A and B are shown apart, each in its own frame.
Chain A
Amino acid sequence: MTGAEPNAVGLRRDAFLERLALFGLGGPAVLLVFVTMVLPVGWLFWLSFLDDSGALSLEHYRRMIEQPSYGRTFRTTFEISVLTTAICVALGYPLAYVLSQLPRRAANLCMIAVMLPFWTSLLVRTYAWLVLLQRRGIVNTWGIKLGLWDEPLTLVNNLNGTLIGMVHIMLPFLVLPVYGSMRAIDRDFLKAAANLGAGPVRAFWQVFLPLSMPGLVAGIIIVFILCLGFYVTPAVLGGGKVTMVANRIATDIEVFFNWGAASALGVVLFALTIALLYVAARLVGLNRVLGGDDP
């Protein structure tokens, strides 16, 4: 009669200890994230509400509303990120599709080609585009020599150059998750669709595309969010005409020593990104697409 009671207590204690041990395992990581992420970000967040004398103020946020250049910087940032993501999808999805249809060995070889840019420094790749695309660069020299165009095209030091550079850097981030989810699709589903009378186009739209969605959505989110923080590429390939939020933050810190203003920019970008993702998640049903629990 007394056997059941201690047993239940013991079980509960065991469960508690186990949870504690698990938490202990995660402890160092949690601590690391706290020290290297939460603390500095929190500190910057706090700074953004202080004026130069250290008093509480909304000065930095007010300036962002009063000066039209800040609004334009945010618009440019989101426009470029959307454009880059769209181009990456247009180029990356078909590429991943082709790769997923290839035999394993050939696909792996091609994957190496896709991954190759990853192993080169971002800065080097960006400057390489500058050399290729500038007025007397290789592309223009050859284009004119071959009679394709007469006057040098303005390919760089503007939005075009920035987009070219960013797409080049971001493409693997889209191809990888899409390729992964495509590889996981059971080919028998497509055969079944054909069996039921669907042509290849219909089979693709109704079976393959929905099944590859989790990878595509993951890729889009990764690319889009990484784009928002770009600094080097617009600075080098934008010719001073493309100012993204990160460039603006650098100016505020390096030229004006204004940590508060720079922090405020970061906070607003963070908030806008979260808001956008939330809306996107509600619209697309992100949880379901990414294979999470159905709400």
Chain B
Amino acid sequence: MSKKPTALSILAAVLLGSAAIPFATLDAAAQTLTVVSFGGSYQDGQSKALFQPGAKALGITVKEETYTGIADLRLKVRANAVTWDIVASGSGSAARAGAEGILEKLDYKTIDTKDFLPNLAGEYCVGGDVFSTVLAWNTKTYGNNGPQNWADFWDVKKFPGKRSYRKGVAGALEPALMADGVAPADVYKVLGSPGGIERAIKKVKELKPHVAVWWSSGAQHAQLMKDGEVDMITGWNGRFDVVAKDGAQVAYTFNQALLDYDCFAIPKGAPNKDLAMKFLAEISKPQYQAEFTKYITYGPTNKKAYDLGTIDAAYAKRLPSHPDNAAKQVTVDLDWYIKFEAQAAAAYENMLTE
């Protein structure tokens, strides 16, 4: 007799509880965003400068996860199991993912990009920081007379030493054309016209005997310079600053560098799309972007960030998107990559395996 009421009361409690829980979780879910980025010192900076302060400003909770790239997201979208609201990505991958249909279109009525540097906000992704693919060299090998442009990088007589170049095609053809005498402003015009890709690849082939390592990741190209394995290299500026701080003998120039950006995108089927849009609007404001530069030498996409006065003037000169630096560079043309990357990659791979 005493057992039945207990069972009943448990049942009642469960029923009541399960009725109450959906409301509770719905409420919380509406206020929680899941953001995924690449981890390491990069996401550390993003977390401290963008994600957590942004969440606080909107009065929501931001949960952070890490991933290795768009390929992970593709699997989730295909399996209809998207749990991420915002993904950080390289601009090229995001552009291709957008073209493929696994990202939501961004609403630029919500996200204000009128003060952005040109070409740093696309249909599917909004720029978060600006980095450069630069020419770097070993200061012990070349002293103060390091190479200053891509023609120097190709000049093995004037600058003897081991080279390292990118194994993937992204950012590999533009320097070759500049070394071949194409003006920086015309690089994508030449690459997009018939014979342009072949011309660039022929130039890379010329350098091939002097390339000791074909690098394939940022960690790798930083390590190569730190170990002194090569004397001259292409790579992402922030990585070199990190190893230089660690004692590596490395310097780089923004001259003829490739200006590129990392961005944020919203996956197709994101659980909290509208809130994600508002969040992106928040962290695209100049004060967040200015704060982010304190953690890594990647520049803001919102040029107003430079006017706030929170970035130290001397430090600002070292950022890729500083007007003085940006003027010397070529901005990476994503449209070219969407159209030609697969074709160029196949030709590049043929050259590499030859």
A residues apposed to B, CB below 8 Å: 67-69, 72-73, 76, 134-137, 154, 157, 235, 239-241, 243, 251, 253-257
Contacts and interface: CB of A to CB of B under 8 A. Distances in A.
A68 B347 CA distance: 10
Contacts of A253: 71
Contact of B229 (A68, A157, A235, A256): A157
B152 to A, nearest CB: 21
B338 interface: no
Interface stretch (B48-56, B115-123, B143-151, B207-215): B207-215
B228 A257 contact: no
A136 B214 contact: no
A67 B350 contact: yes
B14 interface: no
20 contacts: A67-B346, A68-B354, A69-B352, A73-B353, A76-B353, A135-B228, A157-B213, A239-B213, A240-B216, A241-B214, A241-B352, A243-B349, A243-B352, A253-B71, A254-B69, A256-B345, A257-B70, A257-B71, A257-B96, A257-B100
A189 B353 CA distance: 51
Contact of A69 (B215, B228, B350): B350
Contact of B342 (A76, A157, A256): A256
Contacts of A134: 227, 229
B45 interface: no
Contacts of A76: 353
B19 to A, nearest CB: 39
Interface in B306-354: 342, 345-346, 349-350, 352-354
A72 B71 CA distance: 26
B293 to A, nearest CB: 29
B74 A257 contact: yes
B349 A69 contact: yes
Chain A's interface: helix, strand, loop or mixed, by majority?
loop
Contacts of B71: 253-254, 257
A261 to B, nearest CB: 10
A240 B214 contact: yes
B168 interface: yes
B76 interface: no
B215 A72 contact: no
Nearest to B350: A69
A251 B345 CA distance: 10
B221 to A, nearest CB: 11
- Closest 8 interchain pairs by CB? A240-B214, A240-B167, A239-B213, A72-B353, A69-B350, A69-B349, A69-B353, A157-B213
A255 B353 contact: no
Contacts of B100: 257
Contacts of B216: 235, 240
A222 B345 CA distance: 34
A25 to B, nearest CB: 35
Contacts of A256: 342, 345
- Residue among A73, A137, A239, A256 with the most chain B CB within 10 A? A239
Contacts of A157: 212-213, 229
B213 A240 contact: yes
A136 B224 CA distance: 11
Interface in B108-131: none
